[in-house]
Amino acid sequence: TQLLEQSPQFLSIQEGENLTVYCNSSSVFSSLQWYRQEPGEGPVLLVTVVTGGEVKKLKRLTFQFGDARKDSSLHITAAQPGDTGLYLCAGEKTSYDKVIFGPGTSLSVIP
Amino acid sequence: ETGVTQTPRHLVMGMTNKKSLKCEQHLGHNAMYWYKQSAKKPLELMFVYNFKEQTENNSVPSRFSPECPNSSHLFLHLHTLQPEDSALYLCASSQVGGRETQYFGPGTRLLVL
């Protein structure tokens, strides 16, 4: 059983569409991070959320941390081919724990 | 060079070979990490070093041997690997071990024949 679940596992959409991907757990996390990993590269941090209910925006990307700090979502508006990649969520249960990664959502945006 | 660099980017080795992966960070960080990324599996933390000292070994087989001569360099020595060890090996660094943002290198794609 994975501590962090991500859904969907794969997503293929047309340019201009909106999408939401999810990161879920039965455990409470002190913080969650979202990374994007492009083919042939390492993950790059997009955002960190730390407060239950927190919403952060990064251009067309909107991140939300669940009120109970057990889940998070990433919404992309008007997806572009440059958004293609593996989206990873990662979290730590307390500030003394190691970071745990989810399996990722592989997104493909077709021009 | 800026950020975190890894060499080689691709490596093919036989099960009897000995090879080493190199990671270098130019960010002034004092924590470094090795991760394994296999297809359809989450990133697996292998080793953590803080101020050159190993602080975590996540039950990694002894055929993987890390070395951290200073806070900027991290090596992963490989010997008698198995085909199931084929994966992307990622190095990361952070300011303080485990609680700060981790910056990843591009990875070494390893194929064990």
pLDDT at residue number A67: 94
| CB-nearest partner of B42 from A2, A97, A98 | A2
pLDDT at residue number A69: 93
Element (H, E) at B103: strand B103-104
Which one, of A55, A64, A69, lies nearest residue A21 by Cα? Answer: A64
Q: Which positions ≥6 away from A29 have C-beta within 8 Å?
A: A69, A70, A91, A92, A93
Cβ contacts (< 8 Å) between B40 and chain A: which residues? 103
- Taking 70 as the pLDDT cut, the residues of chain B under it are 1, 97-99
Instruction: Give the chain A residue whose CA is nearest to the CA of B55.
Output: A98
CA distance A71 to A52: 9
Test B56 with A45 for CB contact under 8 angstroms: no
Cβ contacts (< 8 Å) between A97 and chain B: which residues? 98
- Residues on chain A bordering chain B, Cβ-to-Cβ distance under 8 angstroms: 2, 4, 33, 40-45, 48, 88, 90, 92, 95-104
| CB-nearest partner of B107 from A4, A42, A88 | A42
Interface test with A, best of B102, B103, B108 (most A CBs within 10 A): B102
pLDDT at residue number A33: 93
Angstrom CA distances, A59 to A30, A46, A75, stand at 25, 11, 11
pLDDT at residue number A96: 64
DSSP B14: -
pLDDT at residue number A39: 85
pLDDT at residue number B97: 59
- For chain A, give the DSSP string: --SSEEE-SEEEEETT--EEEEEE-SS--SEEEEEEE-TTS--EEEEEE-STT-EEEETTEEEEE-TTSSEEEEEESS--GGG-EEEEEEEESSTTSPPEE---EEEEEE-
Interface test with B, best of A6, A41, A93 (most B CBs within 10 A): A41
pLDDT at residue number B1: 56
| CB-nearest partner of A95 from B43, B99, B106 | B99
pLDDT values of chain A reduced to their tens digit, one per residue, 111 residues: 568 999 999 999 999 999 999 999 999 998 899 999 998 889 999 999 999 999 999 999 999 999 999 999 999 999 999 999 999 999 887 766 778 899 999 999 999
Count of beta carbons in the 10 Å neighbourhood of residue B46 = 20
Q: Six-digit token pair at A47?
A: 């955002």
Q: Six-digit token pair at A92?
A: 């730590």
